[in-house]
Amino acid sequence: AIFIALIIYVSQSGGPVMVHIDSNWKMVPFVTQASEYFAEYLYKDYWLFLDELANYNLSNIPLCSLNDYEIALEITSKISPSNVDSLTFSLAMHERLPKIEFYHTIAGDKKISFDCSNVFVLEDEIICGWQAFESKFKVLKNSQIEAISKWDRIYNLTETNNNSPLVYYYQDILHSD
């Protein structure tokens, strides 16, 4: 488990205050950490990374293993060879883990089922699966765009159209099913 400790000296009490976060996960897959690295530092290559990742069948590969690590580096070397060393350092430090845990917490707070590999949030309704989403989306005519959060990943959005609904899409990128 991850343990992050921060000691703050409070002038009024004169003693230290310790704050810590215990992660729920023993380890996060390296390809997940790499995708967060791309999203933060190499945003233009983020979607390329996900496209390349789709070419791999990760269902037979033990996550958090040497193979998982090698796949993350192999994809990175294809997309951005100059950033392999930086990604390697990021993976060694596990610097993306708190943010990944944050996304996991958001999904849990929104009551998103972890059994569903394709989840959509449309008009504050959580929809599981492509077919359910398509039927709901066809019925929906016009909607106001909801606020986009700082942590959301926006694919190819060049302009906002107030007549189009904003759809949030969550997917398990580690499994092809």
Q: What is the pLDDT along the chain (177 residues), one digit of tens a residue?
A: 344 444 444 445 555 655 555 555 567 788 888 988 988 888 788 888 888 888 887 777 776 778 888 988 999 999 888 888 999 998 888 888 877 777 777 777 777 776 776 777 776 677 777 788 777 776 665 454 454 444 455 554 444 454 555 555 555 555 544
Tokens of 29: 């897959």
125 and 102 within one domain: no
> Looking at residue 61, what DSSP letter applies?
S
104 and 119 within one domain: no
Q: For residue 4, is it within any domain? A: no
Q: For residue 21, is it within any domain? A: no
Structural domain span for residue 121: 111-176
Q: For residue 50, is it within any domain? A: yes
Number of alpha carbons in the 13 Å side-chain half-sphere of residue 134:
3
Question: What's the whole-model pTM score?
Answer: 0.58
Domains: count for the chain = 2
69 and 95 within one domain: yes
What's the one-letter identity of residue 104?
Answer: H
Would you call 12 helix, strand, or coil by DSSP? coil
**CB 96: neighbour CB atoms within 10 A?**
20
